[in-house]
Structure 1
Amino acid sequence: MNALSSIAPPDLRDEVNALAEADDPRRAFLRACWFEASDDPSLQTHIARDLQGRPLLALPLVAKSVGPLKIPQIAGAYWPFRGAPIDPTTSVEELASALADHTVARELGPAWRLGPAIADDPSLLLLREAAAQAGWHCLERQISSLFCLDLVALRASGSWPSTKGKQKDRWRVRQLEKTGPVRMETFTGCDWTAATRDAIAAIEAASWVGQLDRGGDTKFHDPELRRYWERAAQDPVIAAMIRGHILWVGETPAAFTFGLEAGDTRYCIANNFDQQFNKFSPGRVLLYHDFEDAADRGFARIDWGLGDGGYKGPMGAHEDASVIDLLFVRNPVVARIAAYFWQRGG
Structure 2
Amino acid sequence: MKPMPLDEFTRLPPALAVECVDGLAGGIDAVAEGAAPTHRFLRYGWYAAALAAYGGAARTLTVSREGSPVLALPIVGKGPERLGLAQVPGCYWPFRSFPVREDAGVEAFEALLPRLAREVTALRVGPVYDGDPALELLKAAAKARGWAVLDRFVADSYLLDMAAAQAEGTWPRNSTLKKNRFHEKHLGSHGELDWGFVSGGAWRDDAFDALGEIEEKSWIAARTDGSDAKFTAQGHGTFWRAAAKDPVIAEMMWAAVLRVDGAPSAFSFDLNAGALKYAIANSYDPAFGKHSPGKLLYYRNLVRAIADGMTRVDWGAGDSGYKRVIGAAEGPAIRDWLFVRPGTVGLAAKLLRGVWKRSGQREGAAREAGSGEDGEA
TM norm structure 1: 0.92
Shift, 1:65, TM fit? 4.4
Q: Does 1:344 align with 2:344?
A: no
Distance in 2 of aligned mates of 1:192 and 1:50: 34
Q: From the CA coordinates, give the structure whose radius of gyration is larger.
A: 2
Distance 1:51-1:199 versus aligned 2 partners, 3 A rule: closer
C-alpha contact (below 8 Å) 2:30/2:69 kept by paired residues: no
Helix, strand or coil for the counterpart of 2:124?
strand
Distance in 1 of aligned mates of 2:55 and 2:195: 39
For structure 2, the residue ranges without an aligned partner over 5 or more in a row are 1-15, 361-377
Distance in 1 of aligned mates of 2:203 and 2:104: 38
Runs of 4+ in 1 over 3 A off after TM superposition: 1-4, 50-54
C-alpha contact (below 8 Å) 1:43/1:60 kept by paired residues: no
Aligned to 2:369: none
Shift, 1:329, TM fit? 0.8
Question: Equivalent of 2:47, from 27, 32, 35?
Answer: 35
Write the mapping of 1:102-117 to structure 2, written as runs, cut at 5 A.
103-107=115-119, 109-117=120-128
Distance in 1 of aligned mates of 2:88 and 2:108: 21
Distance in 2 of aligned mates of 1:341 and 1:63: 22
C-alpha contact (below 8 Å) 1:140/1:325 kept by paired residues: yes
C-alpha contact (below 8 Å) 2:218/2:286 kept by paired residues: yes
Q: Does 1:300 align with 2:311?
A: yes
Quote the RMSD (CA, aligned, Å). 2.1
Aligned to 1:255: 266
Q: Does 1:55 align with 2:65?
A: no
Aligned to 1:146: 157
Q: Does 1:178 align with 2:189?
A: yes
Shift, 1:51, TM fit? 7.3
AA partner of residue 105 (structure 1): A
Aligned to 1:282: 293
Question: Equivalent of 1:23, from 32, 35, 41?
Answer: 35
Helix, strand or coil for the counterpart of 1:220?
coil
Paired residues, number:
339
C-alpha contact (below 8 Å) 1:47/1:55 kept by paired residues: no
AA partner of residue 37 (structure 2): P
Distance in 2 of aligned mates of 1:223 and 1:35: 20
Write the mapping of 1:197-346 to structure 2, written as runs, cut at 5 A.
197-223=208-234, 225-331=236-342, 332-345=346-359
C-alpha contact (below 8 Å) 1:50/1:95 kept by paired residues: no
For structure 1, the residue ranges without an aligned partner over 5 or more in a row are none
Distance in 1 of aligned mates of 2:200 and 2:131: 29
Distance in 2 of aligned mates of 1:70 and 1:254: 46
Q: Does 1:97 align with 2:108?
A: no
Shift, 1:254, TM fit? 1.4
C-alpha contact (below 8 Å) 2:95/2:128 kept by paired residues: yes
What CA deviation, in whole Å up to 9, does each residue of 1:161-200 have, x standing for no partner? 1111111111111111111011101111421222221111
My pick for the range that moved more, 207-216 or 318-327, is 207-216
Shift, 1:313, TM fit? 0.7
Distance 1:69-1:292 versus aligned 2 partners, 3 A rule: farther
Shift, 1:63, TM fit? 2.4
Percent of matched pairs sharing the same residue: 36
What CA deviation, in whole Å up to 9, does each residue of 1:97-132 have, x standing for no partner? 332x2x33111x110101111102233212221222
Aligned to 2:371: none
What CA deviation, in whole Å up to 9, does each residue of 1:266-287 have, x standing for no partner? 1111001111111100000001
